[in-house]
Each structure stands twice: as C-alpha cells, then as structure tokens.
C-alpha cells in the first residue's frame, strides 16, 4: 500500500546524510522537475526580499531562505525525520521498532512541493516551499507539477490512501485512492485535530504486519487501533475525532 501524508512547513535542521542526490529518491520519473525546482529555489534565494515575498514568510524567518540557498550542498536526513509538527509528532517515527520503521519507509510517502512525492526513507535537505507557492518566472507549483506528478501517482497499482491537504491534493489527482478526511461526530471538518489523527492513523498502519488491501481493511485496522474510521463512499472515509 501507499499512504500519502501532507508535509509540514517546519523541518528538522541538519542531518547526517550526504548532500542531495536526486537519483537516491523514489519516483525517479519526477527527477527532471525536481532538478528544475531545486535550481529555481536556490537561485531565488540569492534575492532575499524576493524570496521572503514568494515564500510568504517574514524577515524573522530569513534562515529559511539561507537553507534554500544550500539545497544541493547541505546534509540530508530521511523524510520521516525531516518533517516535523503535529502529524509527525503523533506518528512518532523514532519510537517505532526496527521492523515498523522499515514498513514506514515502504508504506508511507510524503507529498512535497519541492520533490513531488517522497518515500519515508528518502534522504532530503531542509527547505522552505509550500504547495500553494508561485515561483517568479516559473509559475504556480500546481501548473508545474501536475503534468509529471499526476501520471506517476495514477500509475500506482497498489492500495493508495490519500491523507494530503488541499494545496497538495491539487498538485495531482489520484482517482483510485481512498481519501480520508478528519471530522467531528457531527460531520464538521476540523483543523486542530486534523494532523494529529492522521499521524495516529499512519502509525497504526506501520505497526501492523499485514497491510490492508482496500478501504474495508483500512477501517478494520483503524478500529483495532482505537480509531473511528467510518466509510462514507466506495473511496472515501471519515476519521472521527470525538
């Protein structure tokens, strides 16, 4: 199975891996666009005011621009250790057993504005780029990514679970994926508990030896983990927070 997680704006700094090697990443068909975007982001970093504006960040976050300038030379670390925040806190990758970490590297993928999609173990540097960004002289990431990312994700011949957020869902449609949204018992979409519950579901997925093959199997897995996942259609389900 393949579980697509949303990324996070915040990233862990540093790492012990060698500098970025696009050939070491999963989904090699994406490398031409990855190379283009890495160069574009590093070039943009030479103009700090322009970078702050394009990335929609403040002067207090100028270190993010400096990290973008070093994309090809800075240390890397596996994607599931690079991304931080509520979802990844609840996934709690470091606490997993060795076999569970191996499953996480295989089953979990992270949607990325810069790299398109990454498997959990792919080594990447720290960077700043959001899915809704429009890069000067290049255009919106949705326009840039859709022609190459959508065919790659559409071609996945395994059970795909889509946990991506809106901006990243727009980069590529996956018609055959099971889409999970987080809601209250009244059916209201929530933001505060959204990422936490997605992290808990991802953790449950990698802690089980037998991966689900369809939405029914995913519902059973979630229930065993104490999560309320309710089917709402053939390819949709709600993860209920209360």
What is the pLDDT, as a whole number, of residue 50?
97
Q: How far is CA 77 from the centre of its chain?
A: 15
What is the pLDDT, as a whole number, of residue 205?
98
What is the pLDDT, as a whole number, of residue 131?
95
Domain that holds residue 110: 2-240
What is the pLDDT, as a whole number, of residue 128?
97
What is the pLDDT, as a whole number, of residue 37?
98
Let me know: does 162 contact 176? Beta carbons within 8 Å.
Answer: no
Return the structure tokens found at 96: 């997993």
Return the structure tokens found at 227: 């999560």
For CA atoms 202, 16, 118, 58, give the dihedral sign: positive
For the chain (242 residues), the mean pLDDT of every run of 10, in chain order, is 95 96 98 98 97 96 97 98 96 98 97 98 97 94 96 95 94 96 86 88 97 96 96 96 86
The number of distinct structural domains making up the chain is 1
Q: How far apart are the first and last CA of the chain?
A: 27
- pTM for the whole structure: 0.95
């Amino acid at each position: 199975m393949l579980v697509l997680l949303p990324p996070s704006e915040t990233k862990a700094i540093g790492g012990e891996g060698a500098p970025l090697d696009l050939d070491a990443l999963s989904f090699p068909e994406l490398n031409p666009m990855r190379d283009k975007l890495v160069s574009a982001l590093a070039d943009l970093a030479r103009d700090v005011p322009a970078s702050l504006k394009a990335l929609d960040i403040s002067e207090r976050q100028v270190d993010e621009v400096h990290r973008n300038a070093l994309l090809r030379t800075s240390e890397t670390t596996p994607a599931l250790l690079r991304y931080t925040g509520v979802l990844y806190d609840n996934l709690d990758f470091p606490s997993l057993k060795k076999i569970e970490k191996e499953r996480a590297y295989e089953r979990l993928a992270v949607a990325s504005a810069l790299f398109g999609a990454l498997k959990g173990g792919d080594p990447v540097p720290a960077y700043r780029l959001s899915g809704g960004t429009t890069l000067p002289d290049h255009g919106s990431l949705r326009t840039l990514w859709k022609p190459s990312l959508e065919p790659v994700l559409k071609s996945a011949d395994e059970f795909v679970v889509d946990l991506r957020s809106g901006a990243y869902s727009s980069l590529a449609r996956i018609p055959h994926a099971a889409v999970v949204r987080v809601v209250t018992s009244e059916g209201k979409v929530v933001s505060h508990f959204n990422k936490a519950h997605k992290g808990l579901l991802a953790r449950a997925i990698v802690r089980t030896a037998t991966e689900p093959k369809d939405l029914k199997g995913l519902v059973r897995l979630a229930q065993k983990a104490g999560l309320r996942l309710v089917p709402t259609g053939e390819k949709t389900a709600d993860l209920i927070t209360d």
